[in-house]
A = this chain, B = another copy of it.
Amino acid sequence: MALDEYDYKILQILNENSRLSYAEIGRKISLSQSATKERVLNLVENGVIKQFSVDIDFTKLGYGLKVVMSLKFKNDEFKTFLNNLSRFPEIISCKRITGEYCLVAECILADSSHLENLIDRLIPYGIPTTSVQLSEVKVDHFFKRMI
């Protein structure tokens, strides 16, 4: 799929607020509702847009501890772990990477005892290295530069 400037602008706009109406997006990029809608649907159909999602402040839900967990596995234990991911609701994202560690997981936790509990459940699979997340900057300048 070949994207043009309109598509990139749509992605940028949706990235900032994915609930905007087609009409409103169209107004921002000087395109009719129907044309805008068709472009958005095409972006979804072609898999450029994987999902319309939502960013949540877990602190406000009583989960005040965010942790980046690096994991080392013995043998192919990591496949077993991936199959059992549902036992770890605290893990909201899991990346397989090259290098010293096999996986990096993002974890949402209530407090340090919750963390201790998670580590205990992880140890059968591999060795976790914990880093507490102090702050996060989500940057959205990607699209602005890309165009």
Interface residues of A (CB under 8 A from B): 1, 3, 11, 14-19, 46-57, 60-61, 68, 82, 85-86, 89-99, 101, 104, 108, 129-142, 144-146
Contact = CB atoms under 8 A, between A and B. Distances in A.
B11 A86 contact: no
A131 B97 contact: yes
B52 A56 contact: no
A145 B133 CA distance: 22
Nearest to A132: B98
A16 B51 contact: yes
A49 B55 contact: yes
A129 B60 CA distance: 33
B53 A137 contact: no
A47 B61 CA distance: 10
Contacts of A52: 17-19, 52-55
17 contacts: A15-B54, A15-B56, A19-B52, A48-B56, A48-B61, A49-B56, A49-B57, A50-B55, A50-B56, A50-B57, A52-B53, A53-B53, A91-B139, A94-B139, A96-B133, A97-B131, A104-B104
A2 B87 CA distance: 26
A142 B92 contact: yes
A135 to B, nearest CB: 5
